[in-house]
Amino acid sequence: MVEKVYVTYNEVHKLCQASADQILEEFKPNLMIAIGGGGYVPARILRSFLKRHSAPNIPIQAIGLSLYEQLPSSNPSNPVETPGTKVTRTQWLDLSSLEMANLVGKNILIVDEVDDTRTTLEYAVKELQKDVQTAAEEAGSDQTTQFSIFVLHNKDKTKKGHLPLDMMEDGRYLAARTVSDVWICYPWEATDIDEHDKLAASQSTY
């Protein structure tokens, strides 16, 4: 039986708030890329805490990647999901527009909700680096684009995916919280938010 942990919007808000100063000081992002669908809400909350007086809001762009697949369950109201083996693009940046060229030379913060197998994060970093490099070459730019990562939760487990060595050595990866290998239920996945919050209130601290 997979242990489920229920996370509330309030907890997500506080995790973003607790991480914001470190992100500003160490990553200095001027653009965020949210991985959908789990990265959308944390990125938007985080933007409020990264905002500084007289400075513009940090823009948020989005990509959609899918790795999880739903498996048959004996209880239809309690489906079980498991990490898949292949990353599928459901949304990506428009390589033919200024959208990609605008990433060149930026400090880009990639935001997702959870680092489980690391497969999705590895795919996102590799593909974005490749596309930005292409855009830089087409623009004749030698500016350095630097990627960093923020996740709400990192699962303490052996990872299938790998992130660039320089990213890890430079400390450009931040998880607000490291947890055991549990199934994390986020509030934006809930169809009954009151029931979700009730389950969250009844559980012990994870």
Catalytic residues: 116
Tokens linked to 149? 């990562």
* Max Cα-Cα span within the chain: 57
Coil, strand, or helix at residue 3? coil
Closest by CA to 128, choosing from 108, 150, 153, 111, is: 108
Residue with tokens 């931040």: 174
Calculate the dihedral angle through the C-alpha atoms of 123, 129, 135, 138, rounding to the nearest 10 degrees: -120
Coil, strand, or helix at residue 205? coil
Closest by CA to 104, choosing from 59, 149, 135, is: 135
